[in-house]
Amino acid sequence: MSSAENTNDGVAKFEVPDRGALGTIQHWLHVNPALVPLIVLLMSVLVFGLLLGSKFFSPFALTLILQQTAIVGIVGAAQSLVILTAGIDLSVGAIMVLSSVVMGQFTFRYGIPVEIAIVCGLLCGTFVGFLNGWLIAVMKLPPFIVTLGMWQIALATNFLYSANETIRSQVISTEAPLLQVFGEKFTIGADEAGRGGANFTIGVIFMVMLVVVLAYVLKQTAWGRHVYAVGDDPEAAELSGVNVKGTLISVYMLSGLICAFAGWALIGRIGSVSPTSGQLANIESITAVVIGGISLFGGRGSILGMLFGALIVGVFTLGLRLLGADAQWTYLLIGALIIGAVAVDQWIRKVSV
């Protein structure tokens, strides 16, 4: 028991390493991963505001960006959860469209009350998410392959089931307006003629609420911490007592559910139920997630960053259009942002010794 004397404060001290100025910035970004996209967002708003003046820097234009971002933001929230577990969900867009088609067709083909049809659509999205999660967690298949396959399957099911028929906006608004509820708009501060002012849709509010709720869940609940731990190192998480399979399946199910909500919001945005809509949602959501600073290797980043990432894309799209630039400039700049974001992510990772 010679060790008993060693129990004073002098035992096992470890030195704190000294960081330089650059190291301090690196450390800061490491702690606050949403900071980079936030700065980029504010700067891009500022630059376009200076270039375009009140044409861009008006409540109308700025809220228009929010409306245009709503669908990508909602799908991006689903994508964020999946990417945090070091997975990827290529089927988000297909799940979204399939769910919206189920909501529409159940209402109009079978005459099911619209509320029940919506619930069926939400369940449909959750079920496809469950299939993804089960194949990935239990069958141990790579997420990329599973969701690549599920993308095709869900999209084909969508076309086969809907017979490629669009349900027109007018029919929906007269017979089942609930389907379009996410498109409902309210305006603050318009002039007498009803122009300008800040326009908010239910879809925009839903997106913001969703991100806030998920940010809380990821940060403040055990499940949220488990999502990060699973993405960081699944074996370590398992040994620490995390139910890795259960966490993965629940993440993909929640992702499917959120995509189904996005499908509902999509009806509100475009007015009709169209099986050909939303084809780019998977790529756009991954773009938002990556620009938002969430690591594709999992376990790092914040969902707020994804929202900033989606908004950056929205700001560039509208800003460049108002400037009269070729739309290809938008893609070019977004491409550069994606590569820049991943480079920053790699740099931040190096903080680990």
Range in contact with other proteins (rule: CB under 8 A) among 5-13, 38-46, 65-73, 330-338: 5-13
User: Which of 200, 228, 264, 316 is in the footprint of other proteins by CB under 8 A?
Assistant: 228
Which of residues 269 and 300 has its CB atom nearest to other proteins in the complex? 300
Q: Is 10 in the site for other proteins (CB under 8 A)?
A: yes
Q: Which of the residues 28 through 57 are near other proteins (CB under 8 A)?
A: 30-31
Which of residues 152 and 240 has its CB atom nearest to other proteins in the complex? 240
C-alpha span between 351 and 336 (Å, rounded) = 24
Nearest of 53, 40, 274, 251 to residue 134 by alpha carbon: 251
**Contact yes or no for 252/136 (Cβ under 8 A):** yes
User: Which of 24, 240, 276, 279 is in the footprint of other proteins by CB under 8 A?
Assistant: 240
Q: Which of the residues 117 through 136 are near other proteins (CB under 8 A)?
A: none
Q: Which of the residues 288 through 307 are near other proteins (CB under 8 A)?
A: 299-300
Which of residues 26 and 317 has its CB atom nearest to other proteins in the complex? 26
# binding residues, other proteins (CB under 8 A): 42
- Quote the least distance from Cβ 226 to other proteins, whole Å: 8
C-alpha span between 185 and 290 (Å, rounded) = 30
C-alpha span between 337 and 286 (Å, rounded) = 13
User: Which of 62, 117, 172, 242 is in the footprint of other proteins by CB under 8 A?
Assistant: 242
- Dihedral sign computed on CA atoms, order 34, 133, 78, 71: positive
The letter for the amino acid at 80 is S
C-alpha span between 191 and 203 (Å, rounded) = 23
Which of residues 82 and 97 has its CB atom nearest to other proteins in the complex? 82
Q: Is 4 in the site for other proteins (CB under 8 A)?
A: yes
Q: Which of the residues 323 through 352 are near other proteins (CB under 8 A)?
A: 351-352
Which of residues 16 and 139 has its CB atom nearest to other proteins in the complex? 16
Tell how far CA 249 is from the center of its chain.
Answer: 18
Q: Is 9 in the site for other proteins (CB under 8 A)?
A: yes
C-alpha span between 298 and 228 (Å, rounded) = 7
C-alpha span between 45 and 23 (Å, rounded) = 28
What would the two tokens of residue 188 be? 């603050």
User: Which of 39, 188, 212, 239 is in the footprint of other proteins by CB under 8 A?
Assistant: 239
**Contact yes or no for 52/323 (Cβ under 8 A):** yes
C-alpha span between 185 and 194 (Å, rounded) = 13
Which of residues 263 and 299 has its CB atom nearest to other proteins in the complex? 299
User: Which of 181, 205, 232, 246 is in the footprint of other proteins by CB under 8 A?
Assistant: 232
C-alpha span between 144 and 149 (Å, rounded) = 9
Q: What is the DSSP string of 90-151?
A: TTHHHHHHHHHHHHHHHHHTS---HHHHHHHHHHHHHHHHHHHHHHHHTS---HHHHHHHHH
Q: Is 237 in the site for other proteins (CB under 8 A)?
A: yes
Q: Is 20 in the site for other proteins (CB under 8 A)?
A: no
- Quote the least distance from Cβ 218 to other proteins, whole Å: 11
Task: Extract the runs of DSSP E, i.e. beta strands, from the chain.
Answer: 185-188, 198-201
Which of residues 193 and 222 has its CB atom nearest to other proteins in the complex? 222
User: Which of 209, 236, 283, 339 is in the footprint of other proteins by CB under 8 A?
Assistant: 236
Q: Which of the residues 197 through 226 are near other proteins (CB under 8 A)?
A: 217, 220-223, 225-226
Q: Is 245 in the site for other proteins (CB under 8 A)?
A: no
**Contact yes or no for 76/135 (Cβ under 8 A):** no
Helix (H) or strand (E) holding 159: helix 143-162
User: Which of 62, 74, 118, 229 is in the footprint of other proteins by CB under 8 A?
Assistant: 229
Q: Is 191 in the site for other proteins (CB under 8 A)?
A: no
Query: Which residues sit at the interface with other proteins, rule CB under 8 A?
Result: 1-4, 6-17, 27, 30-31, 217, 220-223, 225-226, 228-229, 232-233, 235-237, 239-242, 299-300, 351-353
